[in-house]
Structure formats: C-alpha cells, structure tokens
C-alpha cells in the first residue's frame, strides 16, 4: 500500500501531500488577485463628473428665471463671442448654464426676478458632466451689466406625447457635487435637494448611445419640484 498519510507531528509532510498543498496555495493566491479585478471590471462605470470646489470664477451672460434660473452664455465659435449680442439676437447660439445656490438649494427666483432677461455678471463654481453645465452661485454676486438687456426665448417645438423610462435625479448632485449622484444610495439626498429647489432631471439611459438628460417642467413650463416629490407610481 503506497498511499501517503498526513502526520501532524512530523517536521515535513510527505512529498505528494506537500506538492498538492503548494499547488492549492498558488491557485488560491491567483484567485485572490483575479477575483477582485474581475469584479471591478464587471461594475458599471459611474461616469466622469466634476465639481470645481473652491475655484470661484466670474461669468457673464443673460439671466433667465423660467422655468428654473439659468444663464445664457455665448457659445465658442460665434462671430461676436466676446460680447453678449449674439445671445440677444439668437438664443440658439447660447449655452444654458443652470444656476443653483450653495448647499442643497436652488436659486430663489423671486429674489432675482429683477434680473430676468437682462445681461448680468456673477461669480460661482462650475459643476459639469459631459455637455451639461451648472454654476453654484455665490450669494449676492449677481450684478447687472451695461450690455443690451432683453432676449427672446427659443421657440418651442412640440414632439408629441412620448413614454420614457428613466430615473429622476437632482441635477446638482448628479452633474458633479456627488458621484455617483443617483440610484437608491442617493435617494434621501436627492429628495432634500429637489425639495430645496434644485432642478429635477429625468435621466434616460439608452442601450445604444449616451444618456439623455431631460429637465422636468409642467405642461405650462413651470417648475415641478413639489409634484416630483409627492407623486406616486
């Protein structure tokens, strides 16, 4: 009978048993390295979002308060990019930077109503993800400028009734203040932000293509923060 036996008090294990144990240890070490790597690769990427915390910059544009406060800024490439005339003449040549207050609050539309449709300067911190940009405005930094003070709203193109499947997120956290700023772990924070006036956004994840961000408003173009919070499936 040539079977080997393990004897605990022996200084060395039998050759066959020792060889088997060495192979088992090597396999376990390889698995210890590969399993975390495979798990990490299988996770969905949370995306690149940025909050330039502490970097206060100056911005100039045309302020609109409806449906949510936003700043219309000339896009690079317009003939008169260094002025606001292109925005005033053609709203389509502008990018909309939504404006929010520090912490979990949106800008109070009533307090900035006198600036609606006027060119202004303000100071704030950039928040952005992809082609979506927001500014956290420093309190009392909005000032009227001497540039022309009226602007027409872009024309509305009805697309008909559609059914969309997505997740309602608070735009401030999702665009960069929190990462990831969505799904169940972020639900309580999103409720606080939306209740504080931060614009709610419907995040639609496409199977083939980038995610779509849809600003939520009522049928008559008004904010829907309360409706979003108290709606039921």
Tell me, yes or no, whether 123 and 91 share the same domain.
yes
Q: Is residue 36 part of a domain?
A: no
User: How many CB atoms are closer than 10 A to CB 221?
Assistant: 10
- Structural domain count, the chain: 2
- pLDDT value for 156: 67
- pLDDT value for 86: 40
Q: Is residue 25 part of a domain?
A: no
Q: Which one of 144, 159, 178 terminates a domain?
A: 144
Is the CB of residue 123 less than 8 Å from the CB of residue 141?
Answer: yes
Q: Is residue 196 part of a domain?
A: yes
- pLDDT value for 21: 78
Q: Is residue 156 part of a domain?
A: no
Q: Is residue 67 part of a domain?
A: yes
Tell me, yes or no, whether 54 and 138 share the same domain.
yes
Q: Is residue 91 part of a domain?
A: yes
Tell me, yes or no, whether 55 and 139 share the same domain.
yes
Tell me, yes or no, whether 54 and 140 share the same domain.
yes
Tell me, yes or no, whether 56 and 140 share the same domain.
yes
Residue numbers of the domain that contains 64: 50-144
Tell me, yes or no, whether 77 and 127 share the same domain.
yes
> What are the pLDDT digits (tens) for 4-44?
666 666 667 677 777 787 888 899 999 999 888 888 776 65
- pLDDT value for 94: 76
- pLDDT value for 200: 95
Tell me, yes or no, whether 172 and 137 share the same domain.
no
Tell me, yes or no, whether 69 and 109 share the same domain.
yes
Tell me, yes or no, whether 88 and 136 share the same domain.
yes
Q: Is residue 154 part of a domain?
A: no
Tell me, yes or no, whether 137 and 66 share the same domain.
yes
CATH of residue 93: 2.40.50
Q: Is residue 160 part of a domain?
A: no
Tell me, yes or no, whether 115 and 172 share the same domain.
no
Strands (E), the chain: 50-51, 57-64, 70-74, 94-101, 105-106, 119-129, 132-137, 143-144, 167-170, 200-204, 212-215
> What are the pLDDT digits (tens) for 192-212?
999 999 999 999 988 888 888
Task: Supply 60's token pair.
Answer: 């100039």
- pLDDT value for 162: 85
Tell me, yes or no, whether 139 and 61 share the same domain.
yes
pTM: 0.72
Residue 57, CA distances (Å) to 89, 126, 226 in order? 26, 8, 32
Question: Which regions in the chain score pLDDT beneath 50?
Answer: 1, 78-91, 149-150, 233
Q: Which one of 144, 159, 176 terminates a domain?
A: 144
Q: Which one of 112, 129, 144 terminates a domain?
A: 144
Arithmetic mean of pLDDT over the chain: 82
């Amino acid at each position: 009978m040539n079977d080997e036996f393990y004897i605990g008090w022996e200084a060395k294990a039998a050759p066959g048993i020792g060889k088997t144990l060495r192979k088992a240890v090597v396999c376990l070490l390889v698995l210890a390295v590969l399993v975390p790597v495979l798990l990490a690769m299988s996770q969905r990427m949370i995306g690149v979002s940025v909050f330039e915390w502490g970097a206060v910059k100056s911005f100039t544009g045309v302020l609109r308060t409806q449906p949510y406060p936003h700043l219309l800024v000339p896009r690079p490439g317009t003939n008169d990019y260094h002025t606001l005339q292109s925005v005033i003449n053609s709203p389509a040549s502008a990018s909309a930077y939504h404006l929010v207050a520090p912490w979990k609050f949106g800008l109070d539309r009533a307090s900035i109503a006198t600036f609606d449709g006027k060119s202004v300067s303000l100071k704030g911190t950039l928040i952005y993800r992809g082609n979506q940009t927001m500014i956290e405005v420093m309190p009392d930094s909005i000032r009227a400028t001497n540039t022309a003070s009226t602007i027409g709203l872009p024309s509305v193109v009805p697309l008909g009734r559609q059914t969309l499947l997505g997740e309602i997120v608070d735009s401030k956290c999702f665009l960069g203040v929190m990462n990831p700023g969505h799904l169940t772990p972020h639900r309580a924070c999103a409720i606080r932000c939306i209740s504080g006036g931060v614009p709610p956004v419907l995040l639609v994840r496409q199977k083939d293509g980038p995610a779509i961000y849809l600003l939520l408003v009522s049928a008559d173009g008004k904010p829907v923060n309360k409706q979003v919070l108290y709606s039921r499936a």
